[in-house]
Copies of this chain bind each other. A is one copy, B any other.
Amino acid sequence: MLNTEKKGFTPIYIQIAQNIRKMILLGHYEQGDKIPTEDEIGNDYGVSRMTARQAVTELVNEGLVYRVHGKGAFVGRRKLERSLNKITGFHQDIKEMGLHPTAKIVSFNKRKPTEKECNSLNIRKINQVFAVKRIRYVDGVPYGLQNLVVPVYLVPDFNKVDLEKESLYSYLKEINKPLAYAEQRMEAVMDENVAKTIDIPETIPFFFFERVSYLEDQTPVEMLHSYFRGDKFSYTVSLSN
């Protein structure tokens, strides 16, 4: 039942948490349902009660389940929690949760940049960009839509990358241009067109993110517009003084 391929890298309690998370998100448990007790988890996975407890605590910390004193743990908010403190991509975040991220390319163009893209990416009208529109899925369910724009001069072979399976961020690492930082703006919006494109009800609100990411030498390398479902995601951030 556990992902033995990863064993030795991912602590057992994280793997157990991944399994339970998956069952919650795939609907095996509904909101308010009781999840297995720590004793049951211990027996099912052949682990100590303490390890079982750690797995449940992991899910409690992200708000997916909550404990009721003396009664056990129950399914709470069924939203995936992503962090806003680190610059990570959809692909990596979803994989780390033990879920399966995929993408469907809606369009892929090589074209001239818009005025806004010139400003954000610090390029000229004569430069060209790759523009990719992708629907993002988690275990086959549409979770969002992304419009990615990258300058051709920085990633000339970008059209050879399999963007249904690989991420821009891992590709940038491969070609020795790792991301250093990003600036992101967030909105909460309704968007009929996006809802239609990814085939979900128009009554679901979206997070809209506008991200510009930079290389270590401060060169802007991507302008990313993302719509992610408000009913599927929540985001955390640490605030300092």
A residues lining the B interface (CB < 8 Å): 63, 66, 68-69, 79, 81, 84-87, 115-116, 178-190, 203, 205-207, 211, 230, 234-241
Decide yes or no: A235 and B86 within 8 Å by CB, A205-B205, A241-B178 being known contacts: no
CA–CA, A63 and B205, complex, Å: 22
Instruction: Provide the residues of chain B in CB contact with A188, threshold 8 Å.
Output: 188-189, 205-207, 230
User: Cβ of A238 and Cβ of B187 under 8 Å apart?
Assistant: no
Of A63, A180, A188, A234, most B-chain CB atoms within 10 Å: A188
Can you tell how many copies of this chain the complex includes?
2
Decide yes or no: A234 and B187 within 8 Å by CB, A180-B241, A181-B240, A241-B179 being known contacts: yes
CA–CA, A203 and B237, complex, Å: 27
Choose one: B81, B181, B205; the contact of A241 (CB below 8 Å): B181
Instruction: Provide the residues of chain B in CB contact with A184, threshold 8 Å.
Output: 236-239
User: Cβ of A235 and Cβ of B185 under 8 Å apart?
Assistant: yes
CA–CA, A182 and B235, complex, Å: 14
User: Cβ of B239 and Cβ of A182 under 8 Å apart?
Assistant: yes
User: Cβ of B187 and Cβ of A230 under 8 Å apart?
Assistant: yes
CA–CA, A36 and B211, complex, Å: 29
User: Cβ of B183 and Cβ of A205 under 8 Å apart?
Assistant: no
Instruction: Provide the residues of chain B in CB contact with A115, threshold 8 Å.
Output: 68-69
CB-CB nearest 3 A-B residue pairs? A188-B230, A205-B205, A87-B239
